[in-house]
Amino acid sequence: MGLNNQWMQRDLAVLWHPCTQMKDHQQLPLIPIKRGEGVWLEDFEGKRYLDAVSSWWVNVFGHANPRINQRIKDQVDQLEHVILAGFSHQPVIELSERLVQMTPEGLTRCFYADNGSSCIEVALKMSFHYWLNRGLPDKKRFVTLTNSYHGETIAAMSVGDVPLFTETYKALLLDTIKVPSPDCYLRPEGMSWEEHSRNMFLAMEQTLADNHDTVAAVIVEPLIQGAGGMRMYHPVYLKLLREACDRYGVHLIHDEIAVGFGRTGTMFACEQAGIRPDFLCLSKALTGGYLPLAAVVTTDDVYDAFYDDYPTLRAFLHSHSYTGNPLACAAALATLDIFEEDNVIENNKALAQRMATATAHLVDHPHVSEVRQTGMVLAIEMVQDKATKTAYPWQERRGLKVFEHALERGALLRPLGSVVYFLPPYVITPEQIDFLADVASEGIDIATNSNVSVAVPKDFHPGFRDPG
């Protein structure tokens, strides 16, 4: 029995993995990873895999980055953790100062959580509680986009709309208002992204006009709906939304957990619309992919609504044991140093262009309906019928065939259903991008040439897809 198999058997005896039907591992080998370096992950038998999805969208400067490693090592000898209620420490103060400095003007206060879902919960609770403290208790509903994803805790699921994650738990979820997504994949033939996004905003405008008295906030994933299949839209939608939220007295929450820190081509996606949300939710790449940390960056107006004498009970009583953990903050500070010192955003423009060039031939593939890109995120959508954009039945798991082929070739490509995507660390080289394009092309040929036949239940969860 090889080393990989030994570790796999030990794992399967005791672990329950996330977003996984564990029975799949009767046929699909689990891959134990021993070490990482740069874009590469290496298993216990020495085989390497190029991490094309940044280990679930978190890694930006490569595995075992020496600069981030050193910052954490220095910090662990000073302070590993301290309660953040009534106490503070240098890394969390410095990180907060830098986040306030680098985010849009007017975002002045940082509140920390442990992960993306918890970050969304903070923003939702904060918005509701703000209106309560301002004497408007009826403003307690949230508006969200169809096909959106904001996490897997209860309130975060409530403002999501990917059936795979929400359908089972419908009985537990909050009552939210869902507005059609500006997703440009669905635009009419010949219509630009901007025109389609403008047209789709009409539904949001009407929703806010009709419901603003009871709405606390609108929450969106700016520019890219990640778990919804890397669907993308034009920044003009965000500009129109900011104007409408101001007009109707509704908060705007930007979930930049997946798209912040350079993924869309700017440091934050909201910059492309020239706007400032009331709550900016950050996580994932915040620590370079090293440690769990999330931040909600908000305004003095929100902060002031909670600032009062204790007996008024207006304080925001929300906490996590590891809030503002010094080690995680140290990793985040090292990550921000690299952004600042290495001209990352500008350098990524060339990498993004190489991704576009390397995959351009797939536009003509008979079973590819679209190759779309925003910054350092590129998605390739496989379909049964190109002319009508008829999707493959989700039960056929075409993306799984791409995933399996990529593993054989030494790449970690984990599609979202029938959407193959690249979301690599920023230390990837042009040659490595070309390799990924070759692997993806081969995998798409294999996946779309096979005649998979499955029994498809009538309309049963038609929006389901393999999670990415």
Rounded average pLDDT over 225-250: 98
Q: Binding site annotation covers 283?
A: no
Q: Is the pLDDT of residue 452 over 70?
A: no
Phi, psi of 379 (to 5 degrees): -130, 140
pLDDT band for position 322 (50/70/90)? very high
The answer to whether the annotation marks 131 as part of a ligand binding site is: no
Token pair in block for residue 19: 């977003």
As a whole number of angstroms, the longest Cα–Cα distance in the chain is 68
Q: At what angle do helices 236-248 and 193-211 cross, to 10 degrees?
A: 20
Q: Which two tokens stand for residue 466?
A: 């393999």
Q: According to the model, what pLDDT value does residue 1 have?
A: 81
Tally of CB atoms within 10 A around 104 = 15
Provide the pLDDT confidence category of residue 459 given band limits of 50, 70 and 90: very low
List pLDDT tens digits, range 14-46.
999 999 999 999 999 999 999 999 999 999 999
**96 is annotated as contributing to ligand binding:** no
Q: Name the band, by pLDDT with cuts 50, 70 and 90, for residue 418.
A: very high
DSSP class of residue 230 equals: S
Between β-strands 251-255 and 141-145, what pairing exists: parallel, antiparallel or unpaired?
unpaired
**Is 416 exposed, middle or buried, given 0-12, 13-18 or 19+ CB atoms closer than 10 A?**
buried
Task: Inform me whether the pLDDT recorded for 159 exceeds 60.
Answer: yes
Q: pLDDT tens digits, residue range 74-103?
A: 999 999 999 999 999 999 999 999 999 999
Cα dihedral 56/57/60/61 (nearest 10)? 10
Q: Is the pLDDT of residue 262 over 50?
A: yes
Instruction: List residues bridging with 279 in a β-sheet.
Output: 253, 298
pTM for this structure? 0.95
Distance CA 134, CA 131 (A): 5
Interatomic CA distance for residues 337 and 334, integer angstroms: 5
Q: Tokens for 432?
A: 């490595």
Q: Which two tokens stand for residue 354?
A: 């190489």
The answer to whether 319 is annotated as binding is yes
% of the chain residues with pLDDT over 90 = 95
Confidence of residue 153 (pLDDT cuts 50, 70, 90): very high
How far is Cα 183 from Cα 248, in angstroms, rounded to an integer? 24
Residue 455 has a pLDDT of 44
Q: Is 284 annotated as a binding residue?
A: yes
Distance between CA atoms of residues 219 and 128, nearest Å: 13
Q: At residue 463, does pLDDT exceed 60?
A: no
DSSP state of 188: P
Are 247 and 204 in contact, with CB atoms under 8 Å apart? no
Task: Please give the pLDDT value at position 462.
Answer: 41
* Pairing label, strands 224-225, 231-232: antiparallel
- The answer to whether residues 124 and 132 touch, using CB atoms and an 8 Å cutoff, is no
**Alpha-carbon span 460 to 280, nearest angstrom:** 35
- Is 443 annotated in a binding site? The answer is no
Query: Distance between CA atoms of 184 and 235, rounded to whole angstroms?
Result: 11
Answer yes or no: is 149 a known binding residue. Answer: yes
Residue showing tokens 């419908």: 170
Burial class from Cβ neighbours inside 10 Å (0-12, 13-18, 19+) for residue 369 reads: buried
Residue 64 φ/ψ region, left for φ over 0, alpha for ψ in the -120 to 50 degree band, beta for the rest: left
CA distance 308 to 186: 48
Residue 117 assigned as binding residue: yes
Question: pLDDT band at 466, cuts 50/70/90?
Answer: low
- CA separation for the pair 286, 294 (Å, rounded): 7
| Alpha-carbon span 333 to 325, nearest angstrom | 12
More confident position, 174 or 454 = 174
Return the closest-CA partner of residue 332 out of 297, 300, 376, 374.
297
Mean pLDDT of the residues in the chain: 95
Tokens representing residue 115 in the block: 């992960």
Average pLDDT over residues 129-141: 98
Average pLDDT over residues 235-250: 98
CB atoms within 10 A of CB 460: 10
Token code pair at residue 316 = 């925001």
Q: Is the pLDDT of residue 451 over 90?
A: no
Residue 443 confidence (pLDDT): 97
